[in-house]
Amino acid sequence: MQLLTRRGKKKYDIVQGDSAVADIITIESLQYDLNSIEAATNNFADGNRLGEGGFGVVYKGRFTNGQEIAVKRFWTRS
């Protein structure tokens, strides 16, 4: 398997073999259910708000295992 990764403007590195597959597996493993995210952010409490951008508000949170996270909650209009 071969993937291209972007490195700066119009420059690409080729990632080959098991490394590319491992990266995909790692990315997929970063998916969490909404209940876990709501619990980590105290139901998206204002006290956990870090800021906002063009598509929504960013909140900080912490899972029960101690891992800190940042979550963007998209606005319905985006």
Residues 45 and 78 in one domain: yes
Annotated binding site for ATP: 72
Give a yes or no: residue 36 inside a domain: no
pTM here is 0.59
Residues 26 and 47 in one domain: no
How large is the average pLDDT for residues 31-59? 92
Distance (Å, rounded) from C-alpha 63 to C-alpha 48? 13
Annotated binding site: 72
State the residue range of the domain holding 49: 41-78
* Whether residue 46 has pLDDT greater than 70: yes
The DSSP secondary-structure symbol of 66 reads S
CA angle 24, 19, 2 (to 5 degrees): 80
How large is the average pLDDT for residues 26-54? 86
Cα-based distances in Å from 33 to 38, 39, 66, 78: 9, 10, 17, 21
How many structural domains are present in the chain? 2
Residues 27 and 47 in one domain: no
